[in-house]
Structure 1
Amino acid sequence: MFERRVTVASKVGLHARPAALLAKTAAAQPVTITIRKDGAEPVEAGSILGLMTLGAEHGDEVVLAAEGDGAEAALDEVAELVGSELD
């Protein structure tokens, strides 16, 4: 299992437009990616509803995880998006 810790850069957190962009990117990956805040259960990063219920706000650190062929590259792509200003 590979993991990446990333700080949410979007000023509105992972809500609405940023969540939709993240879900679309995560769902397009060859592996399933999960995302969680410390102390919380992981949700599927390819699910807009899951991302919205995560409640990740600007400045929160989240952990992305995936396993399998292509997991590292997939995590790099999704981590870059989470760490970008998406507003």
Structure 2
Amino acid sequence: MHNKKQAEEHIQWRINSGSCNFWWDNWLGVGPLSRFTNDSKRFNNTKVAEFLMNGQWNYDKLRQQAPPCHLADILATDLHY
């Protein structure tokens, strides 16, 4: 547990079903997205799947809530089902 924080920075999650946490899991490969925003939504348990619609990224929802500095990276992320 002593090195947990350092180890977690190098773990990347696969999206698969979208069950990983949008804000707190390192599914994008840049660390938790919560680090890139002060928005209070980052404190909820929103799953990546909540940003998908019909198997594609929901651009409008991402534009409203995702950190702008990572929007292009999110949209370029392949969805693995």
Which has the higher Rg, Structure 1 or Structure 2?
2
User: TM-score when scaled to structure 2?
Assistant: 0.37
